A and B are shown apart, each in its own frame.
Chain A
Amino acid sequence: DIQMTQSPSSLSASVGDRVTITCRASQVISNYLAWYQQKAGKVPKLLIYGASTLQSGVPSRFSGSGSGTDFTLTISSLQPEDVATYYCQKYNSAPLTFGPGTKVDIK
């Protein structure tokens, strides 16, 4: 099965900073990569699918890039409401593996 890794596992940044999270698949998954945001006690929220397509209603400060095995989620200007754990997920075929998550907080 394809394994998903994320780095870093956690980060602390200041409001307004540019934040980058990396997700890597152990095999090629084309662009079948989604990014989720999960705030404490809440249901995961889809941010990006197809590696770079912004889900409707998601702020434009979020962007995704990559294809094949290496992917990136970028928050161009971190806001207090972005404090959350972020997960990548492959969905080209079962198993629909999630990455281990990256916890983002404000410095």
Chain B
Amino acid sequence: EVQLVESGGGFVQPGGSLRLSCAASGFSISNYVMNWVRQAPGKGLEWVSGISASGSSTYYADSLKGRFFISRDNSKNTLYLQMNSLRAEDTALYYCAKITSYSSGCYWGQGTLVTVSS
């Protein structure tokens, strides 16, 4: 069974940092582009960042460039998101997802909640 399990969310003050992890099982992430998607409370889906299968290319939403950094460890089958200089508007449920190459499957985690507040 394919699973994506996010962790690392929590409560943080504005300006703080968090590192999210996404552990995959049931498939190898090394073959696929992986992404982070977030959803603020009561709002729509917002793509945050993506990383190529090898990790050599990374992509970010324009609003996040310079604050968030995506990485992966294919040997651990794990995806990461380092989030710095957090703001109240970063409060959201953060999903790890395989949302390209759909013919080979579409997988989402259950999400990890990040709350930024003083």
Cβ of A68 < 8 Å from any Cβ of B? no
Q: Which of under 10, 10 to 19, 20 to 34, or 35 or more describes the interface residues of B?
A: 20 to 34
Given contacts A36-B45, A95-B47, A97-B47, contact A50 B35 (CB under 8 A): no
Q: Which of under 10, 10 to 19, 20 to 34, or 35 or more describes the interface residues of A?
A: 20 to 34
**19 A-B contacts, Cβ less than 8 Å apart?**
A1-B62, A43-B95, A43-B110, A43-B111, A44-B95, A49-B102, A49-B103, A50-B102, A50-B103, A55-B102, A55-B106, A87-B45, A89-B45, A89-B99, A95-B59, A95-B60, A95-B61, A98-B37, A101-B44
The B90-111 residues at the A interface (CB cut-off 8 A) are 95, 99-100, 102-103, 106, 108-111
Closest Cβ–Cβ distance, residue A87 to chain B (whole Å): 6
B-side contacts of A66, CB under 8 Å: none
The CA of A94 and the CA of B35, in the complex, are separated in Å by 10
Of all chain A residues, the one with the shortest Cβ separation from B35 is: A96
Of all chain B residues, the one with the shortest Cβ separation from A34 is: B102
Cβ of B73 < 8 Å from any Cβ of A? no
The CA of A91 and the CA of B44, in the complex, are separated in Å by 17
The CA of A1 and the CA of B37, in the complex, are separated in Å by 17
Closest Cβ–Cβ distance, residue A95 to chain B (whole Å): 6
